[in-house]
Amino acid sequence: MTIASSSPPSRLPLGSAQGAGTKSRTRRARSRESQGDGRLAAVFIAPALLGFLVFLLWPTLRGIYLSFTRFNLLTPAEWVGFDNYVRMVNDPIFWSSLTVTVEYVFINIGVQTVAALAIAVLLQRLTQSALLRGIVLTPYLMSNVVAGLVWLWILDTQLGIGNEIISAVGVDRIPFLADETWAIPTIALINVWRHVGYTALLLFAGLQAIPNDMYEAAKVDGASEWRMFWRITMPLLRPVLAVVLIMTVIGSFQVFDTVAVTTAGGPANATNVLQYYIYGSAFGRFQFGYASAMSVALLVVLSAITVLQYRLTRAGRTDLG
């Protein structure tokens, strides 16, 4: 009789089996932990996402739709195709408002950027006092409407303390907000006064990221403060400065409240910036379709300017190694 021999079943070493089981349990634990983190993240993101959808995305889509309609709130929107855009292209007031807005942006951004950069460098190189930073930020804590009213009283041609001082030194009174030549520069400088502190603190935060060793090495080599500013500060601050420029340019194109409380678009449309013209068309003449078309045009212009700025300033790259 032949007895069939059977070999015992092969078994994994005990250590390998335990290792595989441990890895499997670790993977399951990490998966459960990841799912828990994902749920927690969704809870925190949900309010911001809801706000974005309700207050940003939906109004934007609604405004784009209304730009192709004739709508006055009293009757249903009537589809008119590109009529509003054709009207906009042929509207001299629209082009005048755009020109005034561009003039305001150039003055506001030019002066504000230079002043904010100077303040930020002085704070970084001379003192980092928290008290001084608070003082610099103080005007930004005031609303645009209040700032506009305060400066309207200060610069009043007859009773303003600013013109009283000018008159006291023997200079003729200047109609800062009542003259076509002075109005837009004055409004631009009012907003520079209000926003320069906030912009300076943004740049100051960027300066904090520059290693101090670079300045010390440059001093050892005999470099002056002016040379260190152009050779070290500006190249390494470029990404932050680029982002700040993008933010301030977008904000400047949306100027409205200062104009509304000081000049109301006058004199003779000299300060009728694009946002104020859009507001007047929508809530003054109830031409919501046409106002929406101008808003869409402004959105396109700002998008193009932002992309151009981002590429020219290389905002997404840094020179820090």
Contact 238, 314 (CB under 8 A): yes
Give me the mean pLDDT over the 219-223 stretch.
Answer: 87
Chain segment 81-140, per-residue pLDDT in tens: 999 999 999 999 999 999 999 999 999 999 999 999 999 988 887 877 888 888 888 999
State how far the Cα of 96 lies from the Cα of 178, in Å rounded to an integer: 18
Could you state, in order of their start, the residue ranges of all structural domains in the chain? 91-313
**Residue of 37 and 71 predicted with greater confidence:** 71
Chain segment 21-38, per-residue pLDDT in tens: 566 666 666 666 666 677
Cα pseudo-dihedral 143, 145, 149, 151, rounded to 10: 60
Enter the tokens of residue 155. Answer: 């610069």
State how far the Cα of 174 lies from the Cα of 248, in Å rounded to an integer: 29
CATH 1.10.3720.10 for the 91-313 domain, yes or no: yes
State how far the Cα of 262 lies from the Cα of 176, in Å rounded to an integer: 10
pTM score: 0.84
State how far the Cα of 257 lies from the Cα of 271, in Å rounded to an integer: 12
pLDDT band at 13 (very low <50, low <70, confident <90, very high): low
Give me the mean pLDDT over the 218-246 stretch.
Answer: 89
Give me the mean pLDDT over the 4-27 stretch.
Answer: 55
